[in-house]
Amino acid sequence: MLNPYPQRRFAAVCGAQARRAFTLIELLVVIAIIAILEAILFPVFAQAREKARQTVCLSNCKQIGTGVAMYTQDYDEILPATGWQGPCTLASTGVMADANVNTGYYAFPIAVQPYVKNYGVFRCPDDPNPGGWGKTGSVCYESQLTSAGLPGAYVGMSSVPNAMNNVLPLSYAANYFLCQGYTQGGGQSSLHMFGLAAIARPSNMYYLADVGSNVTGGNAFAGWYLAPGYGNGTTDARWAKGGRHSGGRNWIFCDGHAKWYKDPAYQTSTGAYVSQGTITNEYIAMGINTDPTATTSL
């Protein structure tokens, strides 16, 4: 039977459809709720991701610390090289220069490889420019990579920006005060590292820490050796850039353990940059020592 009121039926259907649609106000409310949830949750996700990277970095440090401890046990309690003087000194003359190399005397990332067996642990997942091996023009850096047989190393790479960094990405710098050359004067005796017996509190004496890089002409440079606060207040921002984990960095100590600490302020309330010595003393107050010969150490 035909519907005697076709227009009413059509209007009823259209009315039902109209009632099911969102109004502009409702759409705006939904968008606002999504925006609020995004503002609340995204920082939480970002913090969780950063915390995960910090944990991976700390795991790297623990592996390196274990390798350092094993190396030290095998070499009469002498720590792996942390200073430029040792690997970059011609052993026969005691002359220190980038053009020289003490054959077979490698900096710590190479020296501990028989124990770590993984160069990947030397790169922090939060470091955008790992430049520990990026000293362009340094034959000493290049010679270590080539003589150690790192994949991709070649003669002449030191003149190519980031070529050495690509072969051995390094996000951590070692405590150069652990090399006697920085406290005992020059000459051949300066090649030697301090042994554990000469360090009053190995668990407080830092061996390695997160560091950032200066980038010049596209080349990242940090150096495998550094001291706390080095260059702070100048154009050298390597140390400050190392505080990439929630305002702090991971540390490895001479006894092999690793731990995260929050960094002290790099600037005063007036905007003045804090001196290297002040930063070093701030770390000492936290229980992080730098110089084995210093009387201010804990």
- Tell me the C-alpha distance between 17 and 187, whole Å: 91
pLDDT score at 294: 85
The answer to whether the CB of 220 falls within 8 A of the CB of 129 is yes
- Tell me the C-alpha distance between 280 and 291, whole Å: 10
* Residue length of the chain: 298
Number of neighbouring beta carbons within 10 Å of residue 42: 10
Quickly list DSSP for the chain. ---S-HHHHHHHHHHHHHHHSPPHHHHHHHHHHHHHHHHHHHHHHHHHHHHHHHHHHHHHHHHHHHHHHHHHHHTTTBPPB-SSTTTTEETTTTEE-TT---TT--BHHHHTHHHH--GGGGS-TT-SS--TT--TT-HHHHHHHHHTT-TT--TTGGGSTTHHHHHS---EEEEGGGBGGGTS-SSGGGGPBPBGGG-S-TTTBEEEEE---EEETTEEE--SEE-TTTTTTSS--HHHHT--BTTEEEEEETTS-EEEEEPPPSB-TTSPBPPHHHHHHHHHHHT-B--TT-TT--
The label of the residue with tokens 């080349």 reads: 219
CA 203 to chain centre: 20
pLDDT score at 44: 58
pLDDT score at 19: 56
The answer to whether the CB of 130 falls within 8 A of the CB of 220 is yes
Q: Walk along the chain (298 residues) and give the pLDDT tens digit of each residue.
A: 555 555 555 455 555 455 567 787 878 888 888 888 777 766 756 666 778 889 999 999 999 999 999 999 999 999 999 999 889 988 888 888 999 998 889 999 999 999 999 999 999 999 999 999 999 999 999 999 999 999 999 999 999 999 999 999 999 999 999 998 777 655 455 678 999 999 989 999 999 999 999 999 999 999 999 999 999 988 899 999 999 999 999 999 999 999 999 999 999 989 899 999 999 999 999 999 999 988 777 7
pLDDT score at 29: 85
pLDDT score at 86: 87
pLDDT score at 180: 87
State if pTM tops 0.85: no
